[in-house]
Structure 1
Amino acid sequence: MMTPQLRRWWFRLGQLAGLAVMAVLGIIDIRFGLIRPYGSLDLLLSLERVVLALATVMVWMPAHRQGSRRLPKLALLLAAGSILVTLGTVVAGGGPLGTWGLAESCGLLGGLYVVARRGAAGWAVTAALATGVAVILLPLRAVTDSTYIIAGLGLALGAAAAAAAGTYLRFLDQGREQALAAVRSEQRAEFARELHDFIAHHVTGIVVQAQGARFVAEQDPQRVILALEQIEHAGAETMNSMRRMVGMLRDPDAPPNAPLTPLAGLADLDSLLAGFNGSAPPVARLHADGGLDGIPVEVSTTAYRVVMEALTNTRRHATGARSVDVRIRRGPEWLLIQVTDDGAAPRATAARGQHRYGLIGLAERVRTLGGRIDAGPGIDGGWVVDAALPLNQEVAR
């Protein structure tokens, strides 16, 4: 899984590569007659070409957000300026004495790609068409005979390829966002089911204890006090869990009649590891440090899901793994979970597969509780999943 920091490094590397290409093309332009000091008009048009080539950098180089309205508007202004300079050069009789501007051509193609990928849908089509026209007309600055047809066709193919690449990646991004939205929706529905089970369990206990206290009130008042204390504890725990989990239930698309499933928490880790070890290698071992009783139910169930997801990914993707160590450590304010295997790290292609969305959904659940989770290759090899879950709301804030 590519980390945000690694993605930023790749983005910066792409920016430097683009600038280097434009610099080389700019040198070629100047060498072959982009600057034409034969008259004031020629000099003005030449300087405008240099300015346009530099202006394209302001379109393709910044990291634009998806659906940006500013991006296609900048591209429209740039395309209009390029077309005006082209027409001015033709009217002034530019002829074959100068190059049309290879650096500007490259910059416009880069801008076309970025607009197709990141621009707001309504504006992006117009800006892409205008930029494509500007690119195709560029050779008119240097050639007006049949050679223009060849150069124009080449640039038209380049413009079509840039637009197609940007549109393709745009659709990939949209599909990824839809997949992530589906994972988050499924996670919210799972929270809803677990919250329903938990509240039903505690409310049932409260009702039973209240009914029992009513019958023994006259015979044994001390038992009534004990029942009231248990009712108070169960009610407080239920309210705390509701406050911490209700944020996940705000999705209007969550299925209202989702089937209920029993809660699984830290107390069920032994059976989870027993089932894991009973199927096939590797062998999983549990190391618990600190008591696991009295942990809030949403923390306990989330910790269970962290271990379950890590074991599932080990089984699917850790080639040659012989052992898995599951470490649970309870501190005064945090519950720490670490799952480590000694297999080969998942390949990049596998990291983009379905289990990636499992980890993303798990990260969404952990963040909801105010916790942290990280997954990646271990220092000594294998794969490591680390998670930290807060044990109280004050720490979560």
Structure 2
Amino acid sequence: MLTRKNLLFHSGQVAALVLMAVLGLIDLSTLTSGGSLLLAPVMIVSAVATALVWLPRHRQGSKRLPKIAMLLAGCSLLLTIALAVVTGGVGGSFGLAEAVGLLGVMYVVTRRGDAQWAVAAVLPIGMAIGFMPLRGGLTADYVIAGLALGLAATAVIGLAVYLRTIESTRQRAIDSVRAEQRTEFARDLHDFIAHHVTGIVVQAQGARFVAEQDPKRVMLALEQIEAAGAETMASMRRMVGVLRDPNARPDAPLAPLAGVDELGPLLDQFGNSGGVLARLHVDGSTAGIPVEVSTSAYRVVMEALTNIRRHAQGARVADVWVRRTPDWLLVRVANDGSAPRATAPREAPGYGLVGLTERVRAVGGRISAGPGIDGGWVVDAALPLDQEVAR
């Protein structure tokens, strides 16, 4: 899927390649007209080598990227020394396409490279860029061109560091939201298990009390204990890997779990606050839904209603559909308001959908959000009732 971010990325790449191609033609024309026929292919190959470094999409924190960039910068410096010191300069073009390519390498290394290796790579790349005009000669014009390229490299470093800082801040915020969701999920599991274990203990005490008086009632109590224990163990297996906040108090009071059966009161409260009519549509029985699925469905609806209140301008109706199939619990929340506008660059981004995605994925489900066919905004979630289906 080609997103707006990917489209901008590819458009920038195409523009940079076109610029390098134009500058490469200028280099080729200048060098051939000046009699440097053997030097022209060398500079073209150098420019292509820089494109092969900055053109691919590199993963964040790559150690290989700055190492390759340093090797490339070293080769460029050796070529500069050979032309400036040994031959005294060739005059004319000094490799405009290669200079632009090295600026691209500088940006990518600063933006994506491993922090320690990127710092080490900045100096040789900057030297390769700043000294490159000396290939043309040691006159004042080429020295000024070198200073201009040095300033351009500094600006590129500043831009890359700025964007890297923004992305790092956003990633930390996303990780924090995901951690909070997983902690909350684990607390729900704690409350659920505590509830069932308490019931098991009470039933066991009652069975011991009536054992001598009515043995048949003991068998019924044992069956109930077995069912409660099996349900508790199944939920624990489904939610393995969810970690609880180590700082949480072990004696914290148990909070009642809100699930699908509490959606009615939730929508009544939402509708009574005014402005938007909330309607609930339930298809199928809600009995026996695994607790982690039921609570996740409730959180999906609650977050979607919150977003309607905040972002759906002009919304009059909010519809919530809950449909149970043999293998899935399907949840949809839709409104007839205007779609949320894009977040402005200076506004703090919201992470509600990020947290919901983490929670839904923790139970093996899927979630999506986007504009509806008839307008408004639609949130769809599919939660598996059986973990074998999720796999």
Is the pair's TM-score, using the shorter chain for normalization, greater than 0.5? yes
Q: TM-score, normalised by structure 2?
A: 0.94
Spell out the pairing of 1:168-317 with structure 2 (5 A cutoff): 168-249=162-243, 254-257=246-249, 259=252, 260-317=254-311
The amino acid of 2:44's aligned partner reads V
The 8 Å contact of residues 88 and 137 in structure 2, kept in 1 or not, is answered as: no
Spell out the pairing of 1:1-397 with structure 2 (5 A cutoff): 5-31=3-29, 33-35=30-32, 38=35, 42-90=36-84, 91-96=86-91, 98-249=92-243, 254-257=246-249, 259=252, 260-349=254-343, 356-397=350-391
Q: Aligned partners of 1:174 and 1:47: how far apart in 2?
A: 41
Deviation, 1:380, is 1.6
The 8 Å contact of residues 319 and 343 in structure 1, kept in 2 or not, is answered as: yes
3-state SS in 2 of match to 1:320 = coil
Moved more, 233-242 or 12-21: 12-21
The amino acid of 1:144's aligned partner reads L
The amino acid of 2:10's aligned partner reads R
3-state SS in 2 of match to 1:373 = strand
- Per the alignment, do residues 46 and 88 of structure 1 end up closer, same or farther by CA in structure 2, a change over 3 Å counting? farther
Structure 2, unmatched stretches of 5+, are none
Moved more, 322-331 or 147-156: 147-156
Deviation, 1:143, is 4.0
The 8 Å contact of residues 313 and 355 in structure 1, kept in 2 or not, is answered as: no
3-state SS in 2 of match to 1:386 = strand
Deviations 1:155-177 (A, max 9, x none): 11110111111111111121122
The 8 Å contact of residues 323 and 342 in structure 1, kept in 2 or not, is answered as: yes
The 8 Å contact of residues 83 and 135 in structure 2, kept in 1 or not, is answered as: yes
RMSD of Structure 2 on Structure 1 (CA): 2.0
The 8 Å contact of residues 189 and 255 in structure 1, kept in 2 or not, is answered as: no
3-state SS in 1 of match to 2:240 = helix
The amino acid of 1:11's aligned partner reads F
The amino acid of 1:257's aligned partner reads R
Q: Aligned partners of 2:350 and 2:156: how far apart in 1?
A: 29
3-state SS in 1 of match to 2:340 = coil
Q: Aligned partners of 1:317 and 1:254: how far apart in 2?
A: 35
Q: Aligned partners of 1:197 and 1:131: how far apart in 2?
A: 57
The 8 Å contact of residues 48 and 85 in structure 1, kept in 2 or not, is answered as: no
Q: Aligned partners of 2:195 and 2:217: how far apart in 1?
A: 21
- Per the alignment, do residues 223 and 34 of structure 1 end up closer, same or farther by CA in structure 2, a change over 3 Å counting? farther
Q: Aligned partners of 2:20 and 2:239: how far apart in 1?
A: 52
Deviations 1:342-368 (A, max 9, x none): 111111116996673111111011111
3-state SS in 1 of match to 2:323 = strand
The 8 Å contact of residues 210 and 217 in structure 2, kept in 1 or not, is answered as: yes
Q: TM-score, normalised by structure 1?
A: 0.93
The 8 Å contact of residues 371 and 387 in structure 1, kept in 2 or not, is answered as: yes
Q: Aligned partners of 1:342 and 1:197: how far apart in 2?
A: 37
Structure 1, unmatched stretches of 5+, are none
Q: Aligned partners of 1:351 and 1:247: how far apart in 2?
A: 35
- Per the alignment, do residues 371 and 13 of structure 1 end up closer, same or farther by CA in structure 2, a change over 3 Å counting? same
Moved more, 60-69 or 215-224: 215-224
Deviations 1:10-30 (A, max 9, x none): 333332222122112212222
- The number of aligned residues is 388
Deviation, 1:122, is 1.6
Q: Aligned partners of 1:365 and 1:354: how far apart in 2?
A: 22
Q: Aligned partners of 1:261 and 1:4: how far apart in 2?
A: 44
Q: Aligned partners of 2:167 and 2:58: how far apart in 1?
A: 14
Q: Aligned partners of 2:38 and 2:25: how far apart in 1?
A: 19
3-state SS in 2 of match to 1:43 = coil
3-state SS in 2 of match to 1:139 = helix
- Per the alignment, do residues 375 and 8 of structure 1 end up closer, same or farther by CA in structure 2, a change over 3 Å counting? same
The 8 Å contact of residues 88 and 138 in structure 2, kept in 1 or not, is answered as: no
Deviation, 1:265, is 0.6
Moved more, 237-246 or 366-375: 237-246
Deviation, 1:9, is 3.6
3-state SS in 2 of match to 1:247 = coil
Identical-pair percentage: 61
- Per the alignment, do residues 389 and 4 of structure 1 end up closer, same or farther by CA in structure 2, a change over 3 Å counting? farther
The 8 Å contact of residues 241 and 298 in structure 1, kept in 2 or not, is answered as: yes
The 8 Å contact of residues 189 and 254 in structure 1, kept in 2 or not, is answered as: no
Deviation, 1:46, is 2.6
Deviations 1:104-127 (A, max 9, x none): 111100100000011111211121
